[in-house]
A and B are shown apart, each in its own frame.
Chain A
Amino acid sequence: MKKGLPIAVAILSGLFVLAGLIFQPYLGPYLGLVLNWAVIVGSMALLVAIASLIIYHARSILTARKGFIFSIVILASFGLSLVGGLWLGVDNPAYLKWVGAIQRPLEVSLLGLVALIMTSAAVQVFRNRGWSPLTVSFGLSAIFFLLIALGLLQTLEVPQIATVIGYIRQLPLVGARGLLIGVAIGAVMMAIRVLLGSERPYSD
């Protein structure tokens, strides 16, 4: 019963959504209702995650665990945002500007770090992986696309170069299409496994 009930609910939900999309004139309103339930359950899960985060960092502060200073920063930021949103309202321009002034530099800095890490990985890929068709093709494609992105070749306005650049620009299309086809096949297979009960991601 403990294992069978979640499986039955998952299979019935999946089949119902599938049937609602196919027989929309008949099952459309009920499908919307089921999707509403999903949104509510997802929101509750988000609340539970927030509560768990608060409890964890509160325990870190109370027990003076290593790095509890960061827990204080997290809880203080969360409290200020919550109080500001409740007091001023989420539509208040001053509140939105204040949140944006903090969040934007943080995320841009993180993106800059990602660029640095990607650069480091590109440098070390040959050292760690050696010379292989994969690394050589990666290096050549990276060099080509960096040169194209520089825009220096386009300023020459040579028709032959423009043709070559146009051809090279089409190469990612092939890879992306294959990637999307693979993703789609994987999603279909996963859906079938969930509907058959052989895949139970909800049991983790």
Chain B
Amino acid sequence: MNKQTKPKSINRREFIKLSGSSVAVLAGGISAKDAFGLLQKRKPKPKNILLIITDQQHIDTIAAGGCRHVRTPALDWLKRRGISFTQSYSSNPLCSPARSSIFTGRTSSEAGVHVNGRPIRRDIPNLGQWLYQETDYETVYAGKWHLPRSFTKNIPGFRVINTGIGGLGYLCDTVTSRACEAFLRNHSKSRSFLMVASFLQPHDICEWLRLNTNDPGQLRYEELADKLPELPENFQFDRNEPQAIKNTRQAREPFINGYWGKQHWRYYLWSYYRHIEFVDAEIGRILQALENSGQAKDTLIVFTSDHGEGLAHHQMVRKNTLYDESAKVSLIFSWPGHIPEDITDRSHLVCGLDVMPTLCDYVGINTPKMMRGRSIRPILEGKRVTGRDFVVTEVGANKARMVRTKQYKYTTYNDKSIEQLFDMKTDSGETKNLATSSRHASTLAEHKKLLGKWETQLELAPNVPNTDAWWYKA
């Protein structure tokens, strides 16, 4: 049976989503099925979907977005062909947890992926399984998965065309982009596809850190001396941070064998940007193949990363903290003729949880139950929507959570250590903790309340630790 022709029943949510005129049609006696058809006519469906994911890409690493240190022609092209969000957060800035949220629309603690290398709970479908079940899209996957295995032929709901190699983004990503290019060149144009191209870079910065832990005191390549990027303004860190953050910092490479000098920090930045340029070219290969195949105008492209990179802000490297450098990620949607071009959305709060419901919205199907994300299609279509009031990011095996509202960011740990509150409008570098300021007591209380309310709705997976501590706090 053709899955697309299955009779659809219109539910309450869809009814509410109908515009006033459609409601009038319903009131005039047209059946729900016909109304659904009308709704679908009004909401065009992309023939294909291309979801591109990078690993550990700091949000400010696209030249067209203002980054001076890189050349990224592919991501520049994509950014100019769609809407990119600057207030976009990972749901959990660590590989497996973040991916579990992107692919399920549920929080990592609900999906049972609170740390790396855990599988998604069996009763929660992933994007591939859901689209395979509900639509005629062919679902293919290339590259890193990490739920639980990083590279595997066995991904539920997807046909895996390329697995990848652990710890070597260079070859892994090249082979992944070659596989995706080949798929686009040889694929029958009559069949719709969802293709996930999941790159490992710039994650190799972790290997770089382990191979450059020792600061040699002088540059390995002296000609780079005048080419190294400057350190960020918030390079210094708050000495009164929560202990968990201090522990994370101290355990990382710049602090393991003594302390890095500023030049070594800057060399790390230079090296990270080369990783970005590397993966940009691989993304370019796929975008070029899509263009050459004549399918670009029929394809909705989504670009994001699982989490960011410390990039020397707060003297942090890597991820797994709630500072913006680790927690923020690029999120770009592009579909020529359907999504406005070259728009940077600086106001709406969005997150990795939104990918699944947005794609379900675009292909015209219901989401699985209990989505924590929401469709951002109305924003992408330029409709006046207020969007959500806050996003929540969790981290560290369910040990810490963050609430980001339009103006503030509140961070708390389940062990009752120091709390953090930052005014993101006046202090985007998160350098002045306002949590102990009496002037901000009511703001702090409001954010605690928001978080408590959010937490009570979650259906945490049985294997997730620290749940009691959160209940106690709430």
To the question of whether A and B form a pair in one complex, the answer is no
